[in-house]
Every structure is written in structure tokens, then in C-alpha cells.
Amino acid sequence: MFTEPRSGRLAAWGNALLAGIVSPDDAALAIVGGDAVHRVEGLPGEEGPVGLTLALGRLRALGVTGFRVAMPTAGHPLGLSGPPEFNTRALEAEEAVTAFGVSLGLVPELYEAGPEGDLHREVVWHCLPVREAPPADVPSLGEAERELAEALREATAVLSGLDVAGGGPAAEAAIDAYRARAEAGPGELLA
């Protein structure tokens, strides 16, 4: 059964909240999904864990302007920029959310209790400092331009080898026949 990552829900609904599309309560409800409760721990200005609605409001007040999902795996730290504590937690969870505008990241930790079929799931999001740097595996502008230019050169070479623009001898013969009919005029075609 497919379940979307909790980080995806937090980033999507958190961005919708920041854009003014949904209310804080609706965003929190959508982020929680089928879990019992979500709390945020380590939020600047708060002593202990706080509810998700309060945390989203606090993050907005701190200057967060957007959220981005990170889905790292061992050997492939996609979306992580450090420091090591954040990266380690994100790799263990295999997901995280980083904030734009403020150097913070959120990593979920799931707690489950109860028998199968009647599980109580609680999520604690650990709010940690992150580096303001491009995430791993995201090329710089110069690298992206070089990769694009190289891909265009390769595609041009392949298309030139296929003679796609000319269409080959069969296409040329069909075009010549069409031109001959067009030049002959309507009366000559019937004769």
C-alpha cells in the first residue's frame, strides 16, 4: 500500500498555508492525516513540544517563506545541506523538510503503540538548525548550463545522424511529386 511521506504532506500543506490558501487548522489536519497527533520539538522560542498549528504559526512568525522536501537515503543525501546532526537524523528517518527564509529543518520521528489494526501513531518533528547552502545533488547554475549544452550537442548529433530534418529519399520523392502536381494546375491533373 502506498503512503505519501509525512515530509511531503508537511511541505505541501505548509506551503499552502504560507500562500494563504488554507487556514492553519486545515493545514495541520491535512498534515496529520491518519496519525493521532503531530508535535514539534526544539522550535526556537518554545520550551517543550508544541502542537502543529502553533508550530506552523511560529515558523511563519520566525520568517519561514516556504518548505522543501528532502528524501535522503544512504549514499544519496538528496536535499541535505548539513550540519551533521540534521543530516544524520534525516538519513535515519529517510525524509525531512527544510525551510526557506530561516535556517531550520524538521525531521519526523514516529512512535507507534497498540495492536496491529488499532495502532496509535504519534509524530514528533525535531526542529534543528540547517546550513543555508544549496542542498546536495543540486547543481550550481554553471553546472546546469554545461549539462544542458552537452545534452543539446548530443541530441543534435543524434538527430543529424538520423537525417530527421530532410526526411530521407522517400520524403523527398513525395515532396517532389506534390510540387509537380501543384505546378501542373487543376486542369492538367484531370487529363
Rounded distance, CA 99 to CA 97, Å? Answer: 7
* Pairing label, strands 37-41, 50-51: antiparallel
**Whole-structure pTM value:** 0.68
Q: What would the pLDDT profile of 155-191 be if each residue is shown by its tens digit?
A: 877 777 776 556 667 777 877 887 787 777 655 545 4
In this predicted structure, the answer to whether residue 135 has a pLDDT above a threshold of 60 is no
Are residues 100 and 145 both part of a single domain?
A: no
Task: State how many domains the chain has.
Answer: 2
Residue at a domain's end among 109, 129, 149:
129
Residue type at position 167? G
* Pairing label, strands 96-100, 66-70: antiparallel
Are residues 88 and 112 both part of a single domain?
A: yes
Rounded distance, CA 61 to CA 59, Å? Answer: 5
The pLDDT value recorded for residue 9 is: 95
Range of the domain at 146: 141-185
Q: Does a structural domain hold residue 1?
A: no
Question: To which residue does cell 536535499 refer?
Answer: 79
Q: What would the pLDDT profile of 37-88 be if each residue is shown by its tens digit?
A: 999 999 998 999 999 999 999 999 999 999 999 988 887 777 788 898 999 9
**10 Å Cβ neighbour count for 53?**
19
Nearest Cα to 62, choosing from 14, 95, 26, 110? 14
Question: To which residue does cell 530561516 refer?
Answer: 102
Are residues 118 and 152 both part of a single domain?
A: no
Residue at a domain's end among 86, 106, 129:
129
Rounded distance, CA 134 to CA 79, Å? Answer: 8
Are residues 71 and 104 both part of a single domain?
A: yes
